[in-house]
Amino acid sequence: MTASPGGGAGGTLLLLLATTTATAQGPATAVPKFEIDPSPIALHGDVRPHQYLGVVGRAAAWLGTETGQAELWVHPMKLAADFGLSFVIPDYLEPVRGADVARTVTVRPELTTITYSHATFTVRQHILSPLDERGLLVLLDVETLRPLEIVTSFRMVLQDAWPGGFGGQYVFWDAAERAFVLSESTRRRSALIGSPWATAASEHPAHALPDAPTTFVIRVDTARARTEFVPIAIAGGVAPRDTVVSRYRRLLTNAEALYRERQAHVSALLNETTSLDTPDDELDVALEWAKVNLDEALTCNPELGCGLVAGWGPSGAGERPGFGWYFGGDAAINSFAMDAAGLWDQVAQGLRFLARYQRDDGKIPHEISQAAASIPWFTEFPYAYYHADTTPYWLVALWRYWRASGDTPLLEELWPAAERAYRWCLTRETDGDGVIENGPGNLGAIEVGALGEGIHQDIYLAAVWLEALEAMTQMARARGQADLARETAALRERASATLNASYWREPDGHHAFGILTSGATNDNLTVWPATAAAFGLLDSTRADRTLTKLATDSITADWGARILSTGSSLYDPMHYNNGAVWPFVTGFVSWGQYRYRRPWSGFGLIDALAQLTFDWARGRHPELLSGRFYRPLDTAVPQQFFATSMLLSPVVMGLVGWEPDAPRGRARLAPQLPPHWDRTVIRNLQVGATVLDVEITQADTARTVTVRRRGPPVVLELVETLPPGAQAIGQSAGPTEDAGAGRLIDSPREVRLTRTEELADTVTTFAATWSGGVAVVPPVTTLVPGQTSAGLRILEFARDGTLNGAWRLTVEGEPDRTYTVRLRTPLVLHVEGARIAGRDSSFTTLGIAMPTGNGRVVHTVHLSSEP
């Protein structure tokens, strides 16, 4: 018998098939059909060729495309590449390639479905990566009018992840299991790929890695297919072959149970962690997918343990699955969002994992390959401890986890590692200014390119170090180590002075990228000061000027923040470090804008990050995009976790303003919601054992914040932002009203009302009323793949001078173009520098005609209230 492998690299190469029969092998394993339930956040659409599709569990990953081709991974190994289906029907001489008839894809957190549609059949391919099992499961739901054979083909790899490697691989058909056995000469690594429905399989030379695709045929029994799934199981591991065989069988016999386990895990993930219900449905869904992605970062390697990897993507001709290995810096950055969302168990495992591989001198690893247990990774490769920022970042991550969870036992467990990490950082401070330094093997913001040449310190590493010093001070005080706390606090004061003085460039009006070995500064406008802004480390006046520069299109494109200003001679929109847009740093910019009370510059970036969830790999965020066009770079990892975490972080810690302090039984909530959001609900804000649900309703001149508490009482500091120019402030909290209960700060940019109360009741209501005031609705851009950046930026909105009843709006946009901006106000406004395009009882819409100019132009609109 001959057949053409439809999905493999061999095209129409004819292979000899060894026919097998059900009689010779006993009854085939049945997988009765079960209901595939709808998901509240499922993403459905037409199949797009070459678009990434990942189905990821703790121990295995399907890394492919929406047309059905895939790499099969069971960590630490790549089992196979070019996995695909084709279909043989009597009407056609050649098989129908699955990639040619893949029509739709439905991406769910627990299971993904590709639908193949032909005039004579419909096949729904359900792809499941079980939560913890070392394998993958494909369940085919088949409907057909004609006899149908499904040809499954793949190219055997059976190789450790980069840079591991071994030889002696071979593959053979096991007729008893109806599966191909992939193995190597020592039999320490094995895999099975097959189906109990298989009726024929290709033969390969004994004890040799085949050049041709490996293929088996499933002859569909149409009667059985009405009540059963056609299963394909993939199992593997660093384990005796009998163990892998048992895994293979378990996948088949427990198919529904494995699906339900994954489904229950996702349900808990979505329903028991922080979520938002806002008028922006796409943002709400994007935040749910961000949690799913971050949960998928927890990856368990049988030889290394469970830790947080950086991202996933196909390895192509190599064995490097995106960034599917353990990165210390990425894990720390992602842990901020995971803490905010309540993914505490995953963070704790990630912290322990990195501490396990801490170097003797205290340095935390930068990256650990999936193959590290089989090669001299830590001694003969240069990557394990490549970066300097990883070690202070780990300290920040430990502190933030402790503040959110109140998990003092973990702090005690990891405290010796924290002290060693701190002492290592001190070895990188050699010039007495308090800031740790870059250098060979101690990289910070920049890995490649001219921007990093001659750098002695960079502002990104300096910011992480200052935050680590704050972490050490607070943790040492809590442990009663007063001397250490005084030491770190004094060092932080010295480092803060350096950051705020030595990095400031008054002629340029922004913070420098770095200090050079010559003592001069690298004065390029870069995105990196945003890290210091996000942590609140900058003098407020200077921070405001830098953040204004970062809000302009020279850094902020419609789809995110460029690493380097378009005005720099080094700018290259395709360059990794010199001009590409990174969602990771976009999040820092947005977070920084909110930190310094500039929500109208921060929200557009949140909106752009949310749109990434839908425009490229469904539910995933790419590592980086072009600085010129809205499109990921071809080199970008398609599922990068610090890209998705940096949607959650600015939303929860910026827009919502959530800061838990579980060890002290306190929390701070400082929302800066868009003024057109009339009702917002934030569920499952967690501080230690206490969970808060918050409902915020707002109108033109009133706002109510209702807090529902589950768990022990906590003290809540509520900071509310009222529009600039608001007057006659009235307020209430709980069952009593007291106009003097809160602290009022009236500034040109906002009126800030702060109230602190112990949440002793299960429900506490805070109300505020005011008169007057004007709030600006942040502009957003509906992104279209391939577009250039031409949207409006708000650079400043505040009262004009010290007078009530006058405001100033400064915007940047394209010359000779008219933009619209909405204002929420009960006032009738007089406008100079724009026209009133619409008005109702709540909103005034401005039409702003930008002046003529070369390149982007800045324009100011003056507003005043009519008597």
What pLDDT does residue 15 have? 41
Instruction: Flag whether 351 is in a domain.
Output: no
Q: Which amino acid is at 188?
A: R
Higher confidence at residue 513 or residue 742? 513
Q: Is residue 814 part of a domain?
A: yes
- Write down which residue in 208, 237, 267 finishes a domain: 267
Residue 712, domain CATH:
2.60.40
Same-domain pairing of 86 and 235: yes
Q: Residue-wise over 805-832: b if at least 16 C-beta within 10 A, else e?
A: bbbbbbbbbbeeeebebbbbbebebebe
Q: What is the pLDDT of residues 6-18, one digit of tens each?
A: 333 333 333 444 4
> Where does 309-446 show beta strands of DSSP type E?
311-312, 326-327, 367-368
Q: Are residues 750 and 846 in the same domain?
A: no
* Residue 814 shares a structural domain with residue 770: no
**Per-residue pLDDT band at 198 (split at 50, 70, 90):** very high
Q: What is the pLDDT of residue 441?
A: 76
Over residues 420-441, the pLDDT tens digits come to 999 999 999 999 999 999 987 7
Kindly state whether residues 80 and 158 are assigned to the same domain. yes
Residue 22 is predicted with a pLDDT of 36
Please report whether residue 764 resides in a domain.
Answer: yes
Residue-wise pLDDT for 527-550, tens only, equals 999 999 999 999 999 999 999 999
Q: Is residue 332 part of a domain?
A: no
Containing domain of residue 688, as a range? 675-774
Name the token pair of 749: 């940019």
Tokens of residue 442, six digits? 């101690």
**Is 611 domain-assigned?**
no
Q: How confident is the model at residue 207 (pLDDT cuts 50, 70, 90)?
A: low
Q: What is the predicted pLDDT for the residue at 803? A: 66
Q: What is the DSSP string of 660-710?
A: EEGGGTEEEE-----TT--EEEEEEEEETTEEEEEEEEE-SSEEEEEEEEE
Tell me, what's the pLDDT at 209? 74
What SS3 class is residue 550?
Answer: helix
Instruction: Report pLDDT for 327.
Output: 97
| The model's pTM | 0.95
Q: Is there a domain that residue 570 lies in?
A: no
Q: Are residues 141 and 208 in the same domain?
A: yes
Q: How far apart are alpha carbons 549 and 504 in whole angstroms?
A: 13
Has residue 737 got a pLDDT over 80?
A: no
- The verdict on whether omega for the bond into residue 723 sits within 30 degrees of 0, i.e. cis, is no
Q: Among the three residues 267, 289, 309, which one is the final residue of a domain in this structure? A: 267
Q: What are phi and psi of 463, to 5 degrees?
A: -65, -45
Q: Per residue in 812-851, pLDDT tens?
A: 999 999 999 999 999 999 999 999 999 998 999 999 999 9
Closest CA to 133 of 346, 302, 349: 302
Q: Rounded to the nearest 10 degrees, what angle do helices 482-502 and 459-478 cross at?
A: 160
Tell me: pLDDT of 201 over 80: yes
Q: Are residues 136 and 254 in the same domain?
A: yes
How far is residue 814's CA from residue 184's CA, in Å, rounded to a whole number? 62
Phi/psi for 794 (5° steps) reads -95, 120
**What is the SS3 assignment for 457-521?**
EEHHHHHHHHHHHHHHHHHHHHCCCHHHHHHHHHHHHHHHHHHHHHCEECCCCEECCEEECCCCE
Helix H or strand E segment including 413? helix 408-426
825 shares its domain with 767: no
Question: 736 with 817, same domain?
Answer: no
Mean pLDDT of the chain: 94
Among 209, 242, 267, give the residue marking a domain's end: 267
Same-domain status, 730 and 804: no
Domain identity same for 188 and 225:
yes
Asked whether residue 564 is domain-assigned, the answer is no
Cβ within 8 Å of residue 207, ≥6 positions away: 168, 170, 185
- Number of domains comprising the chain: 3
pLDDT at 866: 80
Residue from 250, 248, 343, 260 nearest 296 by CA: 343
**Same domain for 818 and 718:** no
Q: What is the mean pLDDT of residues 116-139?
A: 97
Confirm if 678 and 696 have CB atoms less than 8 A apart: no
Rounded-to-integer distance, Cα 650 and Cα 595, Å: 9
Residue 791 lies in a domain: no
Domain match, 807 and 727 both? no
Q: Which two tokens stand for residue 422?
A: 């701190």
